[in-house]
Structure 1
Amino acid sequence: MPSPMTDSVTVHMAASPDAVWDLVSDVTRIGEFSPETFEARWTRGSTGPEEGAWFKGHVKRNGVGPTYWTLCRVVAADPGREFGFTVMAGDRPVNTWRYRIEKASDGVAVTESFELDANPALRLYWTLLGWARGRTNRKGMRTTLERIRAVVESPA
């Protein structure tokens, strides 16, 4: 059974695994899809999606604010299968986001998920406010995946 500090949403897409991976792994396009992160750029010498690469995401929390930058490290970069990154607070992981892509008979099933680090501060936060943040994350994941689907399913 999954931890209460994690959740996921899956959306079917009539697309190839590579087409979906190309979108989810291109962090410079995140603003097209995410309702909270409106831009991102590779940083610390990184230029593309590979394990260990770094990028910064510009976030507008809950779509209304506050607005801030987050530093992220790529933890999974398996073309056509998975892209994942961890949001960092200093040198500590806070939240890991993943996109898993599985072949289906007529396209792919794409799952976006998050998992909060199980440190004591985050456990307390999730105990007090997890119900609200979890709902926001779930809605945001569905929005993100539906926007990606609209792009990959649109005629070329």
Structure 2
Amino acid sequence: MKGEVTLRMDAAPEQVWDLVSDVTRIGEFSPETFEAKWTRGSTGPVKGAQFKGHVKRNGVGPTYWTLCTVTACEPGRVFEFCVGADNITVNNWGYRIEPDGDGSLVTEYFRLEPRLYLRLYWLLLGALRGRTNERGMRTTLERMKEVVERG
């Protein structure tokens, strides 16, 4: 009920952090979330800040907005958020950044909450969804790499 992808980028952790923590730019990178905006008075990446992501699952079908709340925010190291309603978290997404010589190792990850209905979902569709998420994370990181290495 989780997965991750790591990619090396020729950029300092601070440069990568600026990119992954700016949710308003996710539409440039993600194959599913084509826009996001800070909401409920939030204006930037701090723990507890909220934003909405506009999603088109697998790049097809209807679109919908998801409420997200920043759950971990350590500049240059970690940016994580949960997805769900005010009192219900469905899944968590995030980025870990580690120095690697003159660059960074960047890991995008997800994990579903251990709720019964999500366990059943994962049992039935987990292999397919896991591969889709992995492809999406790889695409997102490759697109970010292009931007951050261009400078």
How does the TM-score come out when normalised to structure 1? 0.95
Match of 2:113 in 1: 117
Match of 1:105 in 2: 101
Tell me, in whole angstroms, the C-alpha distance in 2 between the residues paired with 1:25 and 1:102: 15
State the Cα distance separating 1:76 from its structure 2 match.
0.9
User: Structure 1 regions of 5+ residues with no counterpart?
Assistant: none
User: Structure 2 regions of 5+ residues with no counterpart?
Assistant: none
Deviations 1:58-80 (A, max 9, x none): 00000112210000000011110
Match of 2:136 in 1: 140
Match of 1:91 in 2: 87
For 1:69, which of 65, 79, 98 is the aligned residue?
Answer: 65
**Residue type of the alignment partner of 1:74:** V
For 2:44, which of 35, 48, 55 is the aligned residue?
Answer: 48
Deviations 1:27-50 (A, max 9, x none): 000000100000000001100000
Tell me, what secondary structure is at the counterpart of 1:75?
strand
User: Is the contact made by 2:20 and 2:79 (CA closer than 8 Å) also made in structure 1?
Assistant: yes
Tell me, what secondary structure is at the counterpart of 1:153?
helix
Match of 1:37 in 2: 33
State the Cα distance separating 1:105 from its structure 2 match.
1.0
Tell me, in whole angstroms, the C-alpha distance in 1 between the residues paired with 2:17 and 2:49: 16
Tell me, what secondary structure is at the counterpart of 1:147?
helix
How does the TM-score come out when normalised to structure 2? 0.98
Tell me, what secondary structure is at the counterpart of 2:65?
strand
**Residue type of the alignment partner of 2:70:** V
State the Cα distance separating 1:91 from its structure 2 match.
1.7
CA RMSD of aligned residues (A): 0.8
User: Is the contact made by 2:53 and 2:67 (CA closer than 8 Å) also made in structure 1?
Assistant: yes
State the Cα distance separating 1:90 from its structure 2 match.
4.7
1:23 maps onto 2:15 in alignment: no
Deviations 1:111-146 (A, max 9, x none): 000000010000000000111111100000000000
